[in-house]
Structure 1
């Protein structure tokens, strides 16, 4: 089995597939993948690149927007930087012109019921992260993933994870993914000696190198991160000449969560 223990599922949900880097990594590690991507052009492009995996049944690509309700909806594509494409035009714009497309809606609870309980769920949806967490929260505990990650350090994400019973957390800065290396022997799936890029979601689950924090510790660490960011932003605002290269790049944090054993 690809997962950590024989009783664990071998399925990963990649919610926000984008250009498929994470999906390709999960497949190479031996997992089955269901990837959700609202941008039709990206879904088709990755589908062509990974056609062999689709034909074998290892990969399923769902071209839809994660949203409540039924039927179709508008998705806003930022062609200048597709990373920002979103169901929310304010998030998608980032000062750039948008292109509207119409895509079906999908409820992630339905995806799990159809494909089975996942070992890990990655959520990176530019504004729809909370919706995906709410959908997962509709499921009984037996269908919740063993591990889950969601982009951003918002209170809403924290509350959603704790409501589902997740009580241990790590914060992972995507900025440092190129410096990380997989453990050997592998703790989930196959060992690849993979070199991560900044745009990837990096390692996951039992292969994370940090210490798992309980909820009070995680809240304190999250608050320290947010406080530091705000302090540097304020210093930059008051004395921009002290930062010759501009406002420092903080990177993007993902919350990783699991239940304690």
Structure 2
């Protein structure tokens, strides 16, 4: 539940009035910005709503037509004002119609068939539907440069970002979800960093998605307006200079991820045989009440043009 949706939203838990988020585009910013954020993989719109309430314009991309409909209804005020644009397409390798595997678990839909097959092995079914596709390069060609781009599109993140090489668009900050949870190899993570480095990004943070719910926005804000929020599971969380932790070099960030891989060595080995991996997950659930998993990690990157 987002803090602004909580009962008694006019006051905080300690009885102090909550600061109402201003929608003034330059309030509280410390670096020169464009006013745009790309939300690539809008899902239920929680990330987009956070960006909007901070005062940014948002172009949100979502392939699932039902999610587009329900999120558009919830964020109608921002759509009507022109602050939010929802692009009802899938980010794809090429323009045109393609198959999107709409998952029964919201947010797990993908255009990558292997991800759909892996989801099915994990007991999560999907329905193939035909949607319209667009490349990330074509999208930014239409809407221009941005302050921040969030990419979370279930197996297409790296390939989508690769297409930016053909454009001059370089958002100041980018985040992408690693494919480690479905391709548990250090080489896969290194390939993610190589794409970001080739685009001119030279400082990085690795964010464990299970810790996003513990993030608290700084006050005063470092970009846009201060928004009092408690992130829910599945949210991307803070971004840019507000994201937690120090910026690292590529080598230091890779070394940090190598430690994560070593901590997950048993799951990594078992994932090579899905039968053994699922059996292990069931055993761990019986013992601990939690399903074991490889973990979901985001890479946040800062462009070399940013001080």
The question of 1:109 aligning with 2:137 is answered yes
The question of 1:147 aligning with 2:191 is answered no
CA shift, 1:169, in A, is 0.5
Give the equivalent residue in structure 2 for 1:57: 82
CA shift, 1:97, in A, is 3.1
- Which of 103, 111, 119 is the aligned partner of 1:78? 103
After TM superposition, list the pairs within 5 Å mapping 1:196-235 onto structure 2: 196-231=231-266
**Secondary structure of the corresponding residue to residue 45 of structure 1:** helix
- Relative to structure 1, the CA distance from residue 2 to residue 202 in structure 2 (aligned partners, 3 Å threshold; closer, same or farther) is farther
Give the equivalent residue in structure 1 for 2:202: 167
CA shift, 1:178, in A, is 1.7
CA distance in 2: counterparts of 1:159 and 1:135, whole angstroms: 14
CA shift, 1:216, in A, is 1.4
Which piece of structure 1 moves more, 226-235 or 150-159?
A: 226-235
CA distance in 2: counterparts of 1:179 and 1:250, whole angstroms: 20
CA shift, 1:11, in A, is 0.6
CA shift, 1:34, in A, is 0.3
CA distance in 2: counterparts of 1:129 and 1:68, whole angstroms: 11
Q: With the length of structure 1 as denominator, give the TM-score of the two structures.
A: 0.90
**Secondary structure of the corresponding residue to residue 83 of structure 1:** coil
Conserved 8 A contact 1:2-1:29 = no
**Secondary structure of the corresponding residue to residue 34 of structure 1:** strand
Give the equivalent residue in structure 1 for 2:115: 91
CA distance in 2: counterparts of 1:234 and 1:181, whole angstroms: 35
CA distance in 2: counterparts of 1:247 and 1:22, whole angstroms: 26
Give the equivalent residue in structure 2 for 1:13: 38
Conserved 8 A contact 2:190-2:254 = no
**Secondary structure of the corresponding residue to residue 75 of structure 1:** strand
- Relative to structure 1, the CA distance from residue 67 to residue 250 in structure 2 (aligned partners, 3 Å threshold; closer, same or farther) is closer
- Which of 135, 151, 158 is the aligned partner of 1:130? 158
Give the equivalent residue in structure 2 for 1:244: 287
Which 5+ residue runs of structure 2 have no aligned equivalent? 1-24, 181-188, 271-276
CA distance in 2: counterparts of 1:105 and 1:5, whole angstroms: 36
CA shift, 1:230, in A, is 1.3
CA shift, 1:120, in A, is 0.4
Q: With the length of structure 2 as denominator, give the TM-score of the two structures.
A: 0.77
Cα RMSD after superposing both structures: 2.2
Conserved 8 A contact 1:167-1:214 = yes
CA shift, 1:213, in A, is 0.4
Conserved 8 A contact 1:2-1:31 = no
CA distance in 1: counterparts of 2:79 and 2:247, whole angstroms: 35
CA shift, 1:7, in A, is 3.2
- Relative to structure 1, the CA distance from residue 250 to residue 193 in structure 2 (aligned partners, 3 Å threshold; closer, same or farther) is farther
CA shift, 1:259, in A, is 2.6
Give the equivalent residue in structure 1 for 2:14: none
